[in-house]
Structure 1
Amino acid sequence: MRRMWLVALLMLLSAGLLQGQEGKRLLAVCSTTQVADFTRQVVGDRWEVRSILAPGQDPHVYEIKPGDSQLVSQADLCVENGWHLEGKEWMSKLAHGANKPLVTGVEGLEPLKIEGEGITLQDPHAWFTPLNAATYVRNIVRGVSTIDPEHKAEYEARAELYLNQLRTLHLWIQRQVSQLPPSQRVLVTSHDAFGYFCAGYGFVSKSPTGWSTGDEVGGGATPERQRQVAESLRQFGVKAIFVETSVNPKLIRQIANDAGVQIGGELYSDSMGPPGSAGETYIGMMRENVLTIVHALK
């Protein structure tokens, strides 16, 4: 009898251990809020998804913290944007330092080029069209399916639905933007994050002469440079310019006032909005950006 009880106890313990293993969620650690949202759309509740950047933080100037290395050391997969969005390649360094597999969202896309401090760079802000965002999603599907092939069909099914939503978003943006005549599609923002949006939807993207997108917008600004920026804004002849939620708007508002132009509103750029805000998801941030731009420029 004692032996039967022992066998039964071992079977129960074994079943409980297996159940615990099956119930353990995998961990994806993402660099930015956008790639974290794309990842959640693919993995659902099967994975835990963590973003190193919090809403409102700037990936260009982010400095690695001790807790970041600890978090990445526990990851089953890391996901980054790529093309140097993560300044000094901080996400790649974290993943490679911990010997973790890394998905790069922009892989397979054709980059736009931007000029920075006398050199030509790949514009990393590729997610600003839903058609490009679809490439991020497909790259993530491949990455998570490699780690967890047993649930590949599930990840592909979630991605199929989300890709349909991205196509709908693209068509909706086209309809909204069509309210603006081409002559009014001039987008002036506080740094050059909207190149793909402008190229995709018929806008001209302009950056004021003398402005800086270095160590951050307006960095090292002098009275003479501020005067140059204000004069440049007046020459653009736009109804409004826009600030971004991931940069300090104080100097931008001052220069807009000097130039006699309106601030058309805040746009989500390198970061999505906080939980509970209209821009807490990728689709939400794109929707709110388009509504803000069209309303201000009409």
Structure 2
Amino acid sequence: MIRIVVLIVGVALCQSVSVYAADDCLVVTSTTQTADFARQVAGDDCRVKSILAPGADPHTYMPTPADAALVREADLCLQNGLNLEGNNWMGKLAHDAGKPVVILTTGIAPLETQYEGHAILDPHAWFSPQNAAVYVKNARDALVELDPEKASNFKARANLYLRELRVLDGWMKAEFNSIPPRRRILVTSHDAFNYFCRAFFFNPQNNYLSLAPVGWSTGSEVGAGMTPARRAQVVSSIQASGAPAIFVETSVNPKLIREIAREAGVAIGGKLYSDSMGNVDSAGETYIGMMRENTLTIVNALRKDDR
């Protein structure tokens, strides 16, 4: 009798090691955000792996042989697009492996921003929850096409998550209403928050776009994107705007923005998740988690102290 019980428990433990069957599909994504959107839709029906680790910079990332090997195992590849993946590294990996790749920003009306004197399309579209819904719908459609037999599961999970995104959007708007309009000024390390500023009415003096010392590609953060003129412009705009605080980003070296803060005479309001979500077990390890924590960090730094 004891042997039978032990055998049953042993079998149960072995089955609990993985919820995936050997023939389950593998989805490989470029970034942590795209991976989270895919997981919300895929559930236990597909494995989802992200090439980028939490905290990594997609603009400057250089793929490794291990990344290429992972993509060769994939049934489907997903990427952000809009040049977030510098030099289209994800698209090239998928092409070289002969794997289908879906761009999750398809259907989003991209914002334009200026970089080194040229108009470019801003790739950070997920910073609007309404845009995040487009990512999710594109992931849903790609998974349905990949495995039609599980279409009802993918659609049901997507519907639930889309409701959660609508709730997130409404909650964020309510939280930001506690910040007086004159203090609704967001200054960050690089131009990652244009969609955020436009969606939640930050930086009206800058056409509701990011205020940052370097452009959208953090590759220039090491020097090429920062000129004395741009630095002076950012410092003067911070001082003129009366920004109570500015923010560093978890995926960008904070050295430059800390120097800007000292020159402008303002405080550091905290760290924001930007091009990457947080580490596993951190508050920002999911998209909703990172947006929630960013919201609270911004509200606590910018609202009236006597609220």
Structure 1 residues 128 and 294, CA gap change in structure 2 (3 angstroms): same
Q: CA RMSD in A?
A: 1.8
1:10-49: per-residue Cα shift (whole Å, max 9, x none)? Answer: xxxxxxxxxxx96422100000000000000001122111
CA 1:222–1:192 in structure 2 vs 1: closer, same or farther (change >3 Å)?
Answer: closer
Q: Give the superposition deviation at 1:227.
A: 5.3
The 3-state SS of whatever aligns with 2:77 is strand
Identify the residue that residue 272 of structure 2 maps to in structure 1: 267
**Corresponding residue for residue 173 of structure 1:** 172
Alignment check: 8 A CA contact 2:194 2:210 kept? no
The offset of 1:100, in angstroms, is 0.7
SS at match of 1:53: coil
> Is the 2:28–2:76 Cα contact (8 Å) retained in structure 1?
yes
Q: Does the 8 Å contact 1:213/1:219 carry over to 2? A: no
Aligned residues: 277
Match of 1:217, SS? helix
Match status 1:127 vs 2:126: yes
Structure 1: runs of 5+ lacking an equivalent = 1-20
Q: Distance in 2 between matches of 1:118 and 1:88?
A: 19
| Number of the residue aligned with 1:258 | 263
Q: TM-score, normalised to structure 1's length?
A: 0.88
Tell whether the 8 Å contact from 1:27 to 1:76 is kept in structure 2 after alignment: yes
Q: Distance in 2 between matches of 1:142 and 1:272?
A: 24
**What residue identity is the alignment partner of 1:241?**
I
1:39 and 1:140 in contact (8 A); partners too: yes
Which residue in the other structure is 2:223 paired with?
A: 219
Task: State whether residues 141 and 159 of structure 1, in contact with CA within 8 Å, keep that contact through their aligned partners in structure 2.
Answer: yes
State the Cα deviation string for residues 216-274 of structure 1 (Å, max 9, x = none). Answer: 32524577865554344322321001110000002221221122100000000000000
Where do residues 23-102 of structure 1 align in structure 2 (5 Å cutoff)?
A: 23-102=22-101
In structure 2, distance between residues paired with 1:88 and 1:101: 18
Residues 206/76 of structure 1: CA separation in 2 closer, same or farther (3 Å cut): closer
Q: 1:198 deviation in Å?
A: 0.8
Q: Distance in 2 between matches of 1:95 and 1:135?
A: 22
Once the two structures are overlaid, the 10-residue window that deviates more, 32-41 or 61-70, is 61-70
Using the size of structure 2 for normalisation, the TM-score is 0.85
SS at match of 1:83: coil
Question: Once the 2 structures are TM-superposed, how far is the Cα of residue 213 of structure 1 from its aligned partner?
Answer: 4.8
Aligned residue type for 2:83: H
**Given the superposition, is the C-alpha separation of residues 212 and 43 from structure 1 closer, same or farther in structure 2, using an over 3 Å criterion?**
closer
Does structure 1 retain, via aligned residues, the 8 Å contact 2:191–2:214? no
Q: Distance in 1 between matches of 2:198 and 2:146?
A: 35
Distance, in Å, in 2 between the alignment partners of 1:112 and 1:232 is 22
- Equivalent of 1:249 in 248, 254, 275: 254
- Percentage of identical aligned residues: 54
Name the aligned partner's letter for residue 103 of structure 2.
Answer: T
Structure 2 unmatched runs, 5+: 1-19, 204-208
Q: 2: CA distance between counterparts of 1:69 and 1:287? A: 33
Distance 1:235 1:288, change over 3 A: same
Contact 2:173–2:200 (8 Å) recurs in 1? yes
Q: Indicate conservation of the 8 Å contact 1:25/1:48, yes or no.
A: yes
Are 1:279 and 2:288 counterparts?
no
Show the counterpart of 1:238: 243
